[in-house]
A and B are shown apart, each in its own frame.
Chain A
Amino acid sequence: MSCRVCFIRLALCCSSLAGCATYDQRLSEVRGTFYAGDVDHAAQAINKDLKHPKHDADVLKLERAIVDLSAGRPKEAEQSLREVRDRFDYLEHKSLGESALSMITDENRKSYAGEDYEKILIRSFLALSNLMSGGADAGAYSLQITDKQQQIINAGIDKEGHNPKLVYKQVALGPYIHGLIREQTHANYDDVARASAMVVSWQPDFVYGQQDLQRAQAGRHSAPGNGVLYVFTLVGRGPHKVETLEIPSTVALLIADRILSNNGTYSLPPTIAPIKVPKVAVPNNNVSHVRVNVDRRLVGSTATITDVGRMAVEQYEAIYPRVIATAVVRRIVKKGIIYGTKEVVGAKRNSFLNVALDVAGVAWEATEAADTRSWGLLPDKIQVLRIELPAGQHQISLAAAGTFGVGREDTQNVTIADGRNTYMLANFPDSQLVGKVLTSQP
């Protein structure tokens, strides 16, 4: 077999592994229609992509869950979230085959197992979805939030005993939901006090934390004849991954391969194509809070219980060195394979074959795309307001407030039951509501 045939085969092999548009680019249409308030078109676009998924079926299901939740379909959202939760748990077991394949292609070839913040948020949204549709499993989901956080942190320890995940901020939404469910029993105030103490400790800037704690320690759920309304809001556009160029590592690798090429028997393909890595980006959030009117009277504003954007950025920063290290190792493996091929076929310096293999190597490296798969329709913040109201029907109006002033009001009738909780959920990525306001039945 001639060396030219070998080269053609290698070039064909490389081109077959070429990277396509990143997930972030593919999702831009869905994101655009969703934020414009067209939840039906967003759902259709996701369902279309789900018919031919490119290793991204799980994240697409997560996007669909947010769309379903905003469109008033909490049961469908819960179903999708449960599927992805179980799938991500399964994918936590490493596949050597996939890892090896990703070393000669890119991270997009691997099944996406979810970032740590996504695994926790899946459980958070499971709890919220379930609260909107009866709440039978919301308590279990809320416990899973805290449990999963602990599992992730415990599993983060490396062989040297370092654990970059120890800096992870705990999500206060889990104990918050656990507390509100236990408070509704009127018999487990010790659990409520514990949960409220956790909320205060994990999210010290949650403005209603202290009053919740005091009520749990010495107060009561509500006065006789009253019930409680919890207004949950998803505000702002949340984190998503974008492709970035890791220039310092690229330059370092270029210098290293030039030195090795000058001193070795064979040359290495030069690092011309920059190393691409994903980075978490959080768009500017224009919504600071949501104003809540009850029967045309302003009763308060929602406050942040979980800062999704900040959590995603902080958690990703903790593991970012590992992301870069993996990308650099992948380049070294590819260069090693080209070097080995030159050795096997005996490609001498200055020969056509040597040049051809270098070109193939550069092309191979250039096909890499950063793995930008991530849950792209998350909110920037999850906020909440607790209101005690007399039992009966009430008219609740929600309006986003922020840099734009106060947005349009959306009104919904709600029934409050004596001694019980009622829940509302609304999504305000910008000044206007997307989809509809969800209300549970007490």
Chain B
Amino acid sequence: MNRRQLIRAGFVGLGALILNGCRGKQFAKVVQPGDPQMVGSHGAGSETFKPLVDQAVGSLLARNAAPPPQVTPASTSGPEAIARPPLRICFVAVENKSAEEIGDFKDQIYQIIDTRIVESHVFEPINKRFVDAGLIETRLRPDQLFVPANMRTFVGVMEKQGQPFDYLLYATLTSGTTRENQNYQRDYLLTMEMINVRTGQYDKQSATLTKGYHQSRVGRLLN
């Protein structure tokens, strides 16, 4: 092929490119249960939050799902099991104290926890809309509810709404970061705290998950 032919071929190639060079398209697919899920490369995602919620809520419910107390009424001869009414719980908020933004995950974490509690029948949670209405009416921040006077005010407002409760429930997400040169490891901790509004006693359950973040695949193999 001489130079002229080469140039002609170049012109033809340019024309073909103009006519046929098309744009790629974004696509999506439904991830089925059991399919590999995406793993957040720069922060926590569903791969982190789902197991944390499962573990923390599962343990909390298991510990409180005690058998009903045995009560012996005076008028009868033998013991009779009376079902304990489920404890009423006011799930106030999910608090993010980790080093990362969790963006749209926060409300989802709340909803997942709330749904798990409702489904368990161990507790009887108060609907979030009542909780929000109570906070708006009292203008109390969730962290101010620990002051005894504030707690009494809040309990009073909720009772006025016909929503008395036994426990306040908080979920807090925290993190701890360990660095090694360019790579780092982050420990995520989800803590569920349950406070008895009458006695002030509290119960606590945590779940932890550790994730490593690496600058490259080589970095991941070396660690």
Query: B1 CB to closest chain A CB, in angstroms?
Result: 13
Q: Chain B residues near A340: list those with CB within 8 A.
A: 7, 10-11
Query: Is A259 among interface residues, defined by CB-CB distance under 8 A?
Result: no
Chain B residues near A194 (CB-CB < 8 A): 96, 101
Please report the C-alpha to C-alpha distance between residue A90 and residue B24 in the assembled complex, in whole angstroms: 8
Q: Are A95 and B23 in contact (CB under 8 A)?
A: yes
CB-CB < 8 A to B135: which residues of A? 186-187
Query: Contact at A97–B92, with CB atoms within 8 Å?
Result: no
Please encode chain A, from 182 to 211, with 1 for each CB lying within 8 Å of some chain B CB and 0 for all others.
000111111100100000000000000000
In the complex, A222 has a CB within 8 A of chain B: yes
Contact indicator A96/B21 (Cβ below 8 Å): yes
Number of interface residues of B (CB under 8 A): 37
In the assembly, what is the distance between CA of A222 and CA of B137, in Å?
Answer: 11
Contact yes or no, A419 B136, CB < 8 A: yes
Rounded to whole angstroms, the CA-CA distance of A385 and B127 in the bound complex is 34
How many residues on A have C-beta within 8 angstroms of the other chain's C-beta atoms?
Answer: 36
Residue from A188, A190, A224, A343 within 8 A of B139 (CB atoms): A224
The answer to whether A99 and B21 have CB atoms under 8 Å apart is yes
> In chain A, what residue has the closest Cβ to B15?
A100
* Chain B interface, DSSP helix/strand/loop, else mixed: helix
Q: How far is the CA of A46 from the CA of B142 in the complex (A)?
A: 50
A142 to chain B, nearest CB (A): 10
What residues of B have a CB within 8 angstroms of the CB of A188 in the complex?
93, 106
**Of A100, A189, A419, which contacts B18 at CB under 8 A?**
A100
Please report which residues of chain B, range 113-171, place their CB below 8 angstroms from some CB of chain A when the two chains form the complex. Answer: 131-132, 135-143
CB pair A97 B11 closer than 8 Å: no
* Known contacts A93-B23, A340-B10, A185 near B143 by CB under 8 Å: no
Q: Across the interface, do B26 and A344 meet the contact criterion of CB distance under 8 Å?
A: no
A98 to B20 alpha-carbon distance, docked (Å) = 9
- Asked whether B17 is an interface residue with its Cβ less than 8 Å from the other chain, the reply is yes
CB distance from A112 to the nearest CB of B (A): 13
The 7 closest A-B pairs by CB, nearest first: A97-B21, A96-B21, A95-B23, A419-B136, A93-B24, A186-B135, A340-B7
What is B's interface to A at a CB cutoff of 8 Å?
Answer: 3-4, 7-8, 10-11, 14, 17-26, 92-93, 95-97, 101, 103-104, 106, 131-132, 135-143
Q: Can you list 28 A-B pairs with a CB-CB distance of less than 8 A?
A: A90-B23, A90-B26, A93-B23, A93-B24, A93-B26, A95-B22, A96-B22, A97-B18, A97-B21, A98-B21, A99-B21, A100-B14, A100-B17, A101-B18, A104-B14, A146-B101, A187-B93, A187-B131, A191-B96, A191-B106, A220-B139, A224-B137, A224-B139, A340-B10, A340-B11, A343-B4, A344-B8, A419-B139
Show the binding face of A for B, using Cβ within 8 Å: 89-91, 93-101, 104, 140, 143, 146-147, 185-191, 194, 220-224, 337, 340, 343-344, 418-419
